[in-house]
Each structure stands twice: as structure tokens, then as C-alpha cells.
Structure 1
Amino acid sequence: MAENSNIEWCHHTYNPWIGCSKVSPACDHCYAETQNNHRKWAEGWGPHAARKRTKTRSNLQKWDKKANELGVRYRVFCASLADIGDNHRSIDPIWRRQLVGDIRQYTNLDILLLTKRPQNIPTLYPDLMEDWPSNAWIGTTVENQVEADRRIPRLLKLPAPVRFASVEPLLGPVDLTSLPYGMPIGNAPSYQDALRGKIWMQEGSVT
């Protein structure tokens, strides 16, 4: 599936800004921080480093136009080098409003929003909560059972049409039975994992 991304479950990757802070064990070996240390996109990483606005917003229009021409839908992961639930003071509220506006405008794109801070979404994105667009998916990272128990209930309070869990990195057994798997595909007794596309799991399974 990947086209302009090294992530196999999406076609494209989009980062409205770059930078983040560690909040749980899943962050211990953050690839985004490692890449930033080498490529110097942002001045630093962590709570004392300012987030940096990117200049790739126009890609959304390009991808949306191509998807429309081909009669397909593109999955766009947002964000691989940040957390859309980050409430750092350096993130201009305009950036968030523009992100929501872009999601509403580019309807041929399914935007997969991922956060380790689902509890922050209602406060940071009130316009999203008022009228959640059908092409905005929302997911949270659940690297172990502690984080699954903490984050999944918060995720399920968000009115997105598709809500998913990312288990990367998987640091221990995780019970995902509290997370709906969606509609069954054909007569198969299993459900497709919305995030990884090719992975199939039995309903009520523990991974």
C-alpha cells in the first residue's frame, strides 16, 4: 500500500509539525527522535524543545487530487514525527485548526490520526469534536496492558467513525476485547485490523 511512506499500512505520511515529548514506555526508543537527532528538522526533542511547523501542507491537495482522478481513497498517516494530542505551548492553535480544515476539505483522503494522548483531543480540537468528519480516523498506541486500560476508554469517547489501536512497539500481552473490530468481512469469523490492513485477528483475541 505504501507509496510515499515507509509505513506499509498507509499510502502517505503527513506531519503538520515536528517534535514531541516522551510519555510512556513506547517512547523509550523513539525513531522520530533518533531521526531528528541526525537530520535536525527541529532544534531539539522533549518538553523544553519548540515544535517546528513543516512546509508540506500542499501535499494534501496533491494527494487528494490524484485520488480523485483515480477514483480511489488514500490513507494518510498523521503524524509520524509528532503527536497530534501534544499540548506543548509552542504549537500554535492555528496549526490545529488548519489540520482540521484540511481534513474537511480533502475528502478523498482518510487521515489516520494517532496519539498517545487521547485525553487531550477534546480540549485541543473543539471544532473536531463538534462535527467529526467521516474521513478522520483516530487511534492510540497501546504498547502494554497498562496503557491499553488507560487509553482505550479515552479513545472510545471520541466520536470518530473509525477508532483503532496501534500496538507498535508491543511490549507485552494486550487484551483488545474492549475495542470494537468493526463489521465482519464476508462469512469469515475474524475481523480486519483497521491499522495494519493485512493482519487478521480472531474476535476477542489477546495479542
Structure 2
Amino acid sequence: MAQKTQIEWTDATWNPVAGCIKVGAGCDNCYAERFAERWRGVPDHPYEFGFDLRLWPARLKQPRAWKRPRMIFVNSMSDLFQKEIPIEFVDQVFDAMEAADWHVYQVLTKRSSLMRNYTRRRYGAGKVPSHIWLGVSVEDGAHKSRIEHLKQIKSDALFISFEPLLAPVGEIDLRGVAWAIVGGESGPGARPMDGAWATEIRLMCERDSVAFFFKQWGGARPKSGGRTLDGEEWNGFPWQIVPNSILEALRS
């Protein structure tokens, strides 16, 4: 079944795909790769093949077996919109999310244009179902185009993960985005985050009425530097986009 997680902004993870191909500086110290490669060569382990891309069709039925509504991070160990994943399998993942619509699904990618193109193909002129949240990962100003691709998707449930935040992002228009998450890198060789970069994003979120969540400073361990920014904890969450049918269960 989907796994419990220590990620602060979700309840559980679900990985119908595992493994990924790096696409930029934000991937250099990938926590998922570091975890998966520990098990390479261990017979019958889910990560026997390390971080090589692998599809798990048997896991497609898992969300339907989980009856209590949850916030589910989809593919915490991969990226659903890799070119190497057959479009038919992406369809099956979306079919599974649509079938078990008492959960909220958080889908995060660095392949922003491919996600935009996929949603246009699947939903046409209609909106993405409100329980499927789509997000992009942006680590610095060089990758701001991902935000523009995201905003071209017809959905009220768009979010951005500025993690690991490796450099300032500069001026961005966040109108139409519901939620922003900011965090520093953690683990061996973690690159430091300047607080001014995070504060800049926080202020733009305030200006554009975007819920702001500060996850961590990062360091050798995820919680090495704590979770306060500018003297406060920031736990913003976009409750207004949670479907009414599952709102009460998620808040309880």
C-alpha cells in the first residue's frame, strides 16, 4: 500500500513508477536516488535495480484499497512525465487517480511542458479534476519557465516546490498558483540556501495571495537548520482548493 512519509506537506507516498533520469542541478543530490542505490543488487528488493527507471503496474490498484481520504504524493521516487514512460502507462496512473477520487493526489514534475501537453491531450478544454493537484519543481531562476508551463494548465490546484532552492528565482508572477513550498537541500554535500531567496518568494506569495509553506533549511540532515524563516514557522496550506467531499476527513 502507499507508504507513510515524513514529508511535512503530505500524508503518504504512492510510487507506480520508480527511478528517474536527471535533468538539472536540482537533481544532483537526489534523495530518492541516494536511497534507491543503497539496495542495488539486493535480490527481490523493490530497488534491486537501484534508481533505474521501473514501472510497477501492480501498484496501480493501491489507492482504491485505501478507504480513508489521504493527501498522496505521487511518485516521490520518480517523475511521472519522463519521456521514457509510455503514455499508456501515464494514462493508467491518471485512471487510477480518477477512480479513487476520495484522495487528493500531488503530482510534481520538472518536465513541465510535458505535463502541460499531457493534460491538454487528456482533458481538452476541460479542467483537471480538482482532487488531482499538479506542481512543478523550481530550484533557481534559470528554470522559471516551468512556472509558465504550469500556469497554462487548466486547474485551480496548481503548486510549486522551490526545493532544493539553490539560487534566487527573481521576479515571478504567481497569480493562478494555489500553493508554494520552499526548502533547502539536505544530505551529503548539501548546498546552502540563502534566507533572502526564501523570503523573496514568501513576499511574492503574500502579494499574489498564494499559501506559503516553509519546509526546512536543510543541511546534513533535513531538520539540521529547523523550520523557522524570518522568526516564524510558515505552514500555509491551500484549503480552499480541497474538494468539499474530502475536506472534513483531511482536516480531522
CA distance in 2, matches of 1:198, 1:60: 30
Shift of 1:51: 2.6
Counterpart of 2:36 in structure 1 is: 36
Shift of 1:52: 3.4
**Structure 1 140/191 Cα, relative in aligned 2: closer, same or farther at 3 Å?**
closer
Shift of 1:195: 8.9
Q: Indicate conservation of the 8 Å contact 2:136/2:150, yes or no.
A: yes
Say yes or no: does 1:174 pair with 2:198: no
- Corresponding letter in the other structure for 1:135: H
Which deviations, in whole Å up to 9, do the C-alpha atoms of 1:119-169 show, x marking residues without a partner?
A: 112444522456421111111111101112x21111111112211110110
CA distance in 1, matches of 2:4, 2:26: 25
**Structure 1 194/170 Cα, relative in aligned 2: closer, same or farther at 3 Å?**
closer
Identical-residue share of aligned pairs (%): 26
CA distance in 1, matches of 2:92, 2:131: 15
Say yes or no: does 1:193 pair with 2:245: no
Counterpart of 2:60 in structure 1 is: 57
**Structure 1 195/98 Cα, relative in aligned 2: closer, same or farther at 3 Å?**
farther
The gaps in structure 1 that reach 5 residues or longer are: 68-73, 202-207
CA distance in 2, matches of 1:112, 1:195: 17
Counterpart of 1:21 in structure 2 is: 21
Q: Indicate conservation of the 8 Å contact 1:165/1:195, yes or no.
A: no
TM-score normalized by structure 1?
0.75
**Structure 1 153/42 Cα, relative in aligned 2: closer, same or farther at 3 Å?**
farther
Shift of 1:107: 1.5
CA distance in 1, matches of 2:161, 2:18: 20
CA distance in 1, matches of 2:33, 2:132: 26
Within the candidate set 129, 134, 150, 1:133 is matched to: 129
CA distance in 2, matches of 1:178, 1:140: 14
Counterpart of 1:71 in structure 2 is: none
**Structure 1 52/38 Cα, relative in aligned 2: closer, same or farther at 3 Å?**
farther
**Structure 1 155/122 Cα, relative in aligned 2: closer, same or farther at 3 Å?**
closer
**Structure 1 26/166 Cα, relative in aligned 2: closer, same or farther at 3 Å?**
same
Which deviations, in whole Å up to 9, do the C-alpha atoms of 1:82-135 show, x marking residues without a partner?
A: 1011111xx233321111111211121111110000111244452245642111
3-state SS in 1 of match to 2:135: strand
CA distance in 1, matches of 2:214, 2:13: 14
Larger mean CA deviation between 49-58 and 134-143 belongs to 49-58
Equivalences for 1:29-178 in 2 at 5 Å? 29-40=29-40, 41=47, 43-45=49-51, 49-53=52-56, 55-63=58-66, 65-67=67-69, 74-88=70-84, 91-124=85-118, 126-129=121-124, 131=126, 132-148=128-144, 150-175=145-170, 177-178=172-173
TM-score normalized by structure 2?
0.63
Counterpart of 2:221 in structure 1 is: none
- Corresponding letter in the other structure for 2:141: Q
Shift of 1:58: 3.3
3-state SS in 2 of match to 1:137: strand
CA distance in 1, matches of 2:50, 2:77: 12
